[in-house]
Structure 1
Amino acid sequence: MLVLAVDTSTPVVTSGLVRLGSEGDASHISTVAVRLTDNPRAHAEILTPQILECFDECGCVPADLDAIVVGVGPGPFTGLRVGMVTAAAFGDALGVPVHGVCSLDAIAQDVHGGTPDGGDLLVVTDARRREVYFARYDGSRRRVEGPDVRKPADVPSAPSQRVAGSAQHAALFELPAEPVHSPSPAGLVAAVSEDLRAGTTPEPLVPLYLRRPDAVATADRRA
């Protein structure tokens, strides 16, 4: 199964093609091509060209896709919707399912690296306004808290044993930091691999903004 995976929930614009095999296959999730660009102000300009570069690299065409996976946040309003709209447009044009994934779940998948017990994990990313988006995971990569948005001082380190995500914000917690700062294509696919294999009809895409956007209409400000 060939899957296109994209994420624009962080400053890193992520796109890639991933092969998903059967559960018993030792290499059941393998990255075929990937493009990562750290540019928080150019998601719209960068994402589609990156996707097309991935197709060129592996000698594939969009019609070869079996599914699409997109990170639905949490993330800033403008950047997040770029990835979701792009994924939805590709899915509609090609007639393939589009699965939404919590972007923090994808980071957790990459940190654990397929091990059954990687210890409790805290994942944090930049929410701006001196806040973080966060979620907490147990050793089997099951989310047990979040996603939510708070000031770092209001997010206790315990009971987590490690932290991952934005390096700047992970450093605010007295925990060993893992070198996984943004969702990867393989992590996005791993987070929803069971549904992909089962051919489950995806739920409608719903962005995890977790708060209202900064920009509001004049009439709303007056209200």
Structure 2
Amino acid sequence: MLLLALDTSAAATVALLHDDTVVGRFASADTRSHAEVLAPAVHRILSEAGVAGTELDAVVAGVGPGPFTGLRAGLVTARTLGFVWDVPLHGVMSLDALAFDAAAGGAVPAGSAFLAGTDARRGEVYWAAYRAPSQSGALPELLDGPHVGTASTLPAGQPLVGRAAGLYPDDVDGVPAFAASDPDAASLARVARLRLLAGAPLRDTSPLYLRESDAQVPGPRKRATA
């Protein structure tokens, strides 16, 4: 299975996977240039791998939660590529990729509940609750979420993986090995692949913004008075 995955819920990441092997990848921590870097990154990765877009089995997009502008850039790019190449397009919640990394890396005990969280800015975090699989290679079970809120409002007594843990160490029980982690496109593709192999449903590419955009349509101008 040949999958191209993109995620811009936090960092901009792109990955090409052949089955479980990463063939090419790109990551940029600059949250202001998602729209500019994605298309060139996809072109370079496919060119270096000698793969045409039409040969892909699917394009996978991280649907967030994430800030409006960055998340939209990734979804628009993924939708455009899927349309132009005429290949299936699937959505995966970005926090699922983060939770998968933590469970696969042994950062949380098998069968235990844990949280995955990313930076939502404004002093808040995007988060969801999971249960680690008891079987190696399986996917974590989503228990609750996604949500957005302050770190102090997260469920107590559950370890937190993801960048949110490093941002608010006094409010959460962070897992040090994953305290600076963001969702990764390669893990996004692995989550999608396991679901496709199991015949499990995937999301569409509707974005999980969870908040209104900062940009607002201005109201009517006030009439000048004499």
**TM-score with structure 1 length normalisation?**
0.85
What is the 5 A alignment of 1:147-186? Answer: 147-158=146-157, 160-166=158-164, 168-169=166-167, 171-172=169-170, 173-179=172-178, 181-186=181-186
Displacement after TM superposition at 1:119 (Å): 3.4
Cα deviation, 1:39-93, whole Å, max 9, x if unaligned, reads 0100011111111111122222212211011100000000001000100000001
Supply the AA of the counterpart residue of 1:193: R
- 1:23 match: none
Q: Assess, with a 3 A threshold, how the Cα gap between structure 1 residues 104 and 136 changes in structure 2: closer, same or farther.
A: same
Is the contact between residue 162 and residue 178 of structure 1 (CA under 8 Å) also seen in structure 2? no
1:49 to 18, 21, 40: 40
Displacement after TM superposition at 1:18 (Å): 0.8
- 2:123 match: 130
Is the contact between residue 157 and residue 175 of structure 1 (CA under 8 Å) also seen in structure 2? no
Structure 1 residue 16 corresponds to structure 2 residue 18: no
Displacement after TM superposition at 1:167 (Å): 5.4
- 2:218 match: 218
Supply the AA of the counterpart residue of 1:80: L
Q: Assess, with a 3 A threshold, how the Cα gap between structure 1 residues 62 and 144 changes in structure 2: closer, same or farther.
A: same
Whole-angstrom CA distance in 2 between matches of 1:7 and 1:153 = 27
Whole-angstrom CA distance in 2 between matches of 1:122 and 1:67 = 29
- 1:92 match: 83
Question: Gapped runs of 5+ residues in structure 1?
Answer: 21-28
- 2:60 match: 69
**TM-score with structure 2 length normalisation?**
0.84
Structure 1 residue 193 corresponds to structure 2 residue 186: no
Cα deviation, 1:112-168, whole Å, max 9, x if unaligned, reads 11769263321111111111001111122111111100011111332x235233453
Whole-angstrom CA distance in 1 between matches of 2:199 and 2:53 = 19
Q: What secondary structure, in the 3-state scheme, does the structure 2 residue paired with 1:218 have?
A: coil
- 1:205 match: 205
Rg larger in structure: 2
Displacement after TM superposition at 1:195 (Å): 4.0
Q: Assess, with a 3 A threshold, how the Cα gap between structure 1 residues 59 and 199 changes in structure 2: closer, same or farther.
A: farther
Is the contact between residue 62 and residue 93 of structure 2 (CA under 8 Å) also seen in structure 1? yes
Is the contact between residue 165 and residue 174 of structure 2 (CA under 8 Å) also seen in structure 1? no
Question: Gapped runs of 5+ residues in structure 2?
Answer: 134-139
Q: Assess, with a 3 A threshold, how the Cα gap between structure 1 residues 182 and 199 changes in structure 2: closer, same or farther.
A: same
Query: Share of identical aligned residues, percent?
Result: 39
Is the contact between residue 164 and residue 178 of structure 1 (CA under 8 Å) also seen in structure 2? no
Supply the AA of the counterpart residue of 1:149: V
Supply the AA of the counterpart residue of 2:17: V
Q: What secondary structure, in the 3-state scheme, does the structure 2 residue paired with 1:178 have?
A: helix
Whole-angstrom CA distance in 2 between matches of 1:90 and 1:43 = 15
- 1:26 match: none
